[in-house]
Chain A
Amino acid sequence: MEMENKQEQNNMDRRAFLKRMGLGLAASSAVLTACKGGKNGGRATSEGTTVGTGDMTYRYQRRTGDKVSLLGYGCMRWPLRTRPDGEEEIDQEAVNALIDYAIAHGVTYFDTSPAYVRGWSETATGIALSRYPRDKYFIATKLSNFAPSTWSRRASKAMYHNSFKALQVDYIDYYLLHAVGMGGGMEEFRHRYIDNGMLDFLLKERKAGRIRHLGFSYHGDIAVFDYLLSKHDEYQWDFVQIQMNYVDWKHAKEVNTRNTNAEYLYGELQKRGIQAVIMEPLLGGRLSKVHDHIAATLKQRQPEESVASWAFRFAGSAEGVLTVLSGMTYMEHLQDNVKTYSPLVPLTPDDYVFLEQTAQQLLRYRTVPCNECQYCMPCPYGLDIPGIFVHYNKCVNEGNTPSSSGDEDYRRARRAFLVGYDRSVPKLRQADHCIGCGQCKPHCPQGIDIPEELRRIDRFVEDLKQGREF
C-alpha cells in the first residue's frame, strides 16, 4: 500500500515534441520519428517521445543534502513470470530493464520492503541495483514486522539485518518504521517498536551510520502520527512517508474514514521542517483510471498530458516533498512518470482550484481502490472479490452507477450494471453471498474494508433491483 501503480496508460504519451525542443532537450532520432507524426496529426506518438537524461527534477535532503529524484521507484510491483513448473517468480530481466531506464533518466530513490512481492522484492531490487555504483542510488527499506511472530527484538533485528544481505548493501539510506497506525493503533505500535526496544536500536544504528536517514510511513490511526511527531525533538525524524494526492488533500475522510487529510499531515510535517515522501499519489490507481467524464475534463485542460500526470504534478509541486513514489510494473508507466517530472511543471494557483473541483467530482464516483492483486482470494465462501470490485469500478467510470434513481439515464445505466454484473460474476459469487467472516480483510494491501465495500455494493445492487428511490 506504499506505492502507486499507474493502471491505465490511457493517452499516456502525447507530448508534442516541440515542447521538448522548446525546453532545450536533446533531439534524439526518436523525436525525429515523431516529427512525421507531428506533420500528419500535429501530435507526437508515444513511440516518438523519449526524454532526455538530464531533466529530472531533484529535491535535496535537508540534513545530508542527498540529491533525490522527485520520482521515486516503488518496488512493490515488480513484474512476475510463470516458470515451466507453474510457479511464479520475479521476472528479473524485466526488473533490470526497468531499473536501467529509471537510473538512465535520473531516478535515484528506490523504495522496497521485506514484505513486498511475496518477500522477493528486496532481493530482486538488490540484484538490479548492485550492477551500479553504490552512490548512484538511494535505498529505502522498512522494518515490516506486522506479524505478531516478528514483534520480538530478535525477530525484528533478524529482519533488519536480512535487508542488508538481500539488498547487497552495507548501509541503508532511508529506513522506515513500516505503516505505523495500521491495525491496533498505539498499542500495536508499542508492541512493534517500543516494548522490544527496536526504535532505540534503530536510532543507534543511525548514529552508527548504517542507517543514513530514519523515518516512518504512516497509515490509519492519527494518534500514532501525532505521537511520533510530538517526539520529534527526541527522535529527529529525517523524513516521513504519507499518503498525499489531490483527493486526500481535503477529502481523505470521504474516501476512507480511518484516513486523515493530507493537508493536515503535510502541514504538521512542514511545521517541524520534516520532508515528506509521498505514497499513493494516484490513490490506488483511481486518479489514473477515472470516470470518462473526468478524463475528458483533464484532457481538455492539458490535451497532451496523461490523466495520471495531474496527480504526479500535484504531489510533486509541494516544496516540502522529497520524492513521490510510484510502483511501476510497466515501462510505459515509468516513461510517462519520468516525463512528468523531467522537469516538473509546478501547478499554478488555477490548477489547484481545478484539481480541487476534479476531486469533488471524483468523490461522486466512488470506486473501490482494488488493484486486482488477488491476495484476498480464494474467498472461503466462493466469492469473486476482485471480480465484483472490477465490475463496480468499471460501471462507476463508464457512468453506469446512477447516483440517483431520478437520473435521466437511470434505466439504461441500471440495465448495464445489472446485466453486466451477472456476466462478470456468476450469481453465486456475487456480493450478496459475503457473510462478513473477514478472512480477506487483513490480506488487502490497499486496506480496503472488503466486507464493508461488498455490502455497500450489495445495497446498491438491491437499490437497482428493487427500483428503490435513492
Chain B
Amino acid sequence: MLRKIRITLALLCFGLITLLFLDFTGTLHAYFGWLAKIQFLPAVLAVNVGVVLGLILLTLLFGRVYCSVICPLGVMQDGFGWLGKKAKKNRYTYSPAKSWLRYVVLGLFIGALVANIGSLAALLAPYSAYGRIASNLFAPLWQWGNNVLAYFAERFGSYAFYEKEVWLKSLPTFIVAALTFVLLGVLAWRNGRTYCNTICPVGTILSCFARFAWFKPTLDADKCVGCRLCERNCKAACIDVQHHRIDYSRCVGCMDCLDRCNKGAITFKHTAKSVRPAVSAAAEPAQPVDTARRSFLAGVGVLAATSALKAQEKQVDGGLAAIVAKQRPQRQTPIVPPGARSLSHFSQHCTACQLCVSVCPNNVLRPSTDLETLMQPESSYERGYCRPECTKCSEVCPAGAIQKITPAEKSSIQIGHAVWVAQNCVPLTDGVACGNCARHCPAGAITMVSSDPEVPGAPQIPAVNTERCIGCGACENLCPARPFSAIYVEGHERHREI
C-alpha cells in the first residue's frame, strides 16, 4: 500500500514537473509552479526557509521519501530501474556505502557554491540535471508534436495551436543533458540509485537526517529467513540481509522491500532502538564523471558558439528579399534578465535548471556557453527581444535567481544599455531613412538626430540616452543591419533602477 502511494505521488510530481518544462505557454506555472519551488536546492538558494525546514522535517519523519517522490531525477531513475527489472528480476545486491565519495562530492558542491562556480554546482545538482534533460531532450519533441498539431490547426482554420520555433539554444548544455541522461540511464538500469547515493549532494545532505527518521523500514531478524529477496530488489543497495541491517542514509524510502518480503519481516514503523548504520571503509576510486564532462565541454565550447547561431528558419522565395540571419555581437558584459539584480547575485542563485529558458516566449534566454557560468541562462537578442509585457522568467524561477517582478517594475530596471555602431547604421550605409530603433524603443531612450547638423537633410542617426535605456534589446533585434546590428546592448554587472 505504501509503495502504491509512493508510486502514485511520484508519477504525479514527475509528470507535472516535466510539464513545467514542456509548457512553453507558461500557463501551468500558475498552478504547479510551486513544484519547482519545493525542490531542495532551489529552496536553499532562494533562502526559502519554510520549504527547507519542511523538507528536513519530512526526512526526519519518513526518511528520504523526497528522493522517491519529489525529486524528478530520482523518479526518472526509478523509471530506468523499472525497465531494468523487467529485463532481469532480482538484479540488485547489497553494497557497502561509499561515504568517502559522497562527502567529497558534497564538499566540492558546497565549495563551488561558496566560490561562486555556478556551473559546477549546477552540474551536480539533481533538479538542475533533470531540468536540462527535460528542456533539452524532451521539450523539442513536445514542440515538434505541437508543431504538427499547429500545421493541422492552420489547415482547419483553428487558432488552438501555434507554431513554436525549435532551435538548439546551446550545444554544450545539450551535450551535458544528453550525457547525464545516458549515464544515469545506464547506472539506474544496472544498479538502481547509484547516483543518488554517491554523487547527489542533495541526497547526501538528506541522508544525514534520514538516519534519524522516526518511521523507517525495519528488518525483523527473527522473522527473516535470509532469502535476500528484499536485498535483491533494493535499488539503493542498502539492505544487508547477512547482518540484518539497513543503511538508512541510503534508503530512499521507496517501500519496495515491504511488499517483497513474503515473511512479513520488513515493516515501516518507528523503532525505539537506533540501528547502527553500516559504514564501510572500502574506498573505491571516485567516478571520473564530472571532470571528464568538464574537459570535454571546454573542448566543444568554441564549436558550439558558432553552430548555435547557424540555425535558420525557412527561407521564402519569390518576390521576397533574402534575409541574412543576425549574428550575436561580442558583448563585454553578459546580459541577464530583469529581476536577476546583478551578475553575481544571479550566478550565486541560479541552479541552471533551464526552466526560464523553457518558458521564454521571445527566444531571448539561452544557456551560457561561458565556462564559469556554463548552462546558466543569459540574454541575447538575435531572435527576439525582452518584450515589455513579459515577466515569465521571473515568475518561474524557483531559486530566486530571477526575482519576481511586474511589467511596471521591469520598465524601470536597467539591465544594460544600447551602444551604437556607426559602420552598420543603414542611414549612413544605404542612404535611407530608418529610425526603427527609436520607433520601437519602449523606454523612449532613442532620439533621431542629424548626423551632420551643418548639412541640411543629412541622414538621421540614433542618439541613445543611456540613462533611460533599459537594455531590452528591441533596438538591436529590429535593426535592419545584418548580420550585425548597428545598435546592440551591453549588459550591466549590477542592474539599476531608473
Contact = CB atoms under 8 A, between A and B. Distances in A.
Chains A and B come from one and the same complex: yes
A435 B436 CA distance: 5
A440 B433 CA distance: 13
Interface stretch (B40-48, B133-141, B285-293, B316-324): B316-324
Interface string B309-321: 0000110100111
Nearest to B436: A435
A139 B297 CA distance: 78
B319 A435 contact: no
B320 A423 contact: no
Given A419-B159, A422-B162, A436 B321 contact: no
A378 B436 contact: no
Contacts of B163: 422-423
A293 interface: no
Contact of B319 (A378, A381, A416, A432): A378
A427 B426 CA distance: 20
B432 A435 contact: yes
Contact of A436 (B388, B389, B434): B434
Interface in A400-429: 412, 415-416, 419-420, 422-423, 426-429
Interface string B128-163: 000000000000000000000000001000010011
B246 to A, nearest CB: 56
A435 B427 CA distance: 10
Given A419-B162, A423-B154, A435-B480, A374 B433 contact: no
A430 to B, nearest CB: 10
Contacts of B440: 432
B435 A423 contact: no
B478 interface: yes
A416 B480 contact: no
B88 interface: no
A379 interface: yes
Contacts of A432: 436, 440, 478
Chief secondary structure at chain B's binding surface: loop
A377 B319 contact: yes
Nearest to A438: B433
Nearest to B162: A419
Interface in A367-395: 374, 377-382, 384
Given A415-B159, A432-B440, A435-B480, A382 B321 contact: yes
Given A435-B426, A437-B432, A455 B439 contact: yes
Contacts of A378: 319-321
A439 B432 contact: yes
Given A381-B321, A420-B159, A429 B316 contact: yes
A436 B320 contact: no
B395 to A, nearest CB: 15
Contacts of A377: 319-320
Contacts of A359: none
B117 to A, nearest CB: 37
Query: Could you say which of A377, A426, A428, A467 has the most chain B C-beta atoms within 10 Å of its C-beta?
Result: A428
Query: Could you say which of A378, A419, A438, A465 has the most chain B C-beta atoms within 10 Å of its C-beta?
Result: A419
B320 A382 contact: yes
Nearest to A379: B321
A242 interface: no
A40 interface: no
Contacts of B313: 426-428
Contact of A466 (B320, B389, B439): B389
Nearest to A376: B319
B387 interface: yes
Interface in B98-122: none
A134 interface: no
Contacts of A467: 389
Interface string B289-310: 0000000000000000000000
A439 B433 CA distance: 10
Contacts of A374: 319
B91 to A, nearest CB: 50
A435 B435 contact: yes
A29 to B, nearest CB: 40
Contacts of A429: 316, 320, 323
A352 B394 CA distance: 58
Interface in B12-34: none
Nearest to A434: B436
A412 B387 CA distance: 21
Contact of A416 (B159, B316, B436, B478): B159
A437 to B, nearest CB: 4
B480 A436 contact: no
B162 A423 contact: yes
A170 to B, nearest CB: 40
A185 B401 CA distance: 61
A439 B426 CA distance: 14
Contact of B320 (A384, A434, A435, A437): A384
B323 A428 contact: yes
Contacts of B436: 432-436
Contacts of A416: 159
A381 B429 CA distance: 14
A142 to B, nearest CB: 28
A437 B478 CA distance: 14
B389 A435 contact: no
B316 A426 contact: yes
Nearest to B323: A382
B303 to A, nearest CB: 26
A415 B160 CA distance: 9
Query: Could you say which of B426, B433, B480 has the most chain A C-beta atoms within 10 Å of its C-beta?
Result: B480
Given A433-B478, A435-B433, A436-B433, A382 B322 contact: yes
A427 B363 CA distance: 12
B435 A436 contact: yes
A256 B50 CA distance: 63
Contacts of B321: 378-382
A349 B233 CA distance: 92
A423 B163 CA distance: 8
A349 to B, nearest CB: 41
Contacts of B159: 412, 415-416, 419-420
A198 to B, nearest CB: 31
B270 to A, nearest CB: 54
A396 to B, nearest CB: 16
Interface of A: 374, 377-382, 384, 412, 415-416, 419-420, 422-423, 426-429, 432-439, 455, 465-467
7 smallest A-B Cβ distances: which pairs? A437-B432, A377-B319, A435-B434, A466-B389, A382-B323, A419-B162, A435-B436
27 contacts: A374-B319, A379-B320, A380-B321, A381-B321, A382-B321, A382-B322, A382-B323, A384-B316, A412-B159, A415-B159, A419-B162, A420-B159, A422-B162, A422-B163, A426-B316, A427-B313, A429-B320, A432-B440, A434-B436, A435-B426, A435-B434, A435-B480, A436-B434, A465-B387, A465-B389, A466-B389, A467-B389
Interface of B: 154, 159, 162-163, 313-314, 316, 319-323, 387-389, 426, 430, 432-436, 439-440, 478, 480
Given A378-B320, A466-B387, 19 more contacts: A374-B319, A381-B480, A382-B321, A382-B323, A384-B320, A419-B162, A423-B154, A423-B163, A428-B323, A429-B316, A432-B436, A432-B478, A433-B436, A433-B480, A435-B426, A436-B433, A436-B436, A465-B389, A467-B389
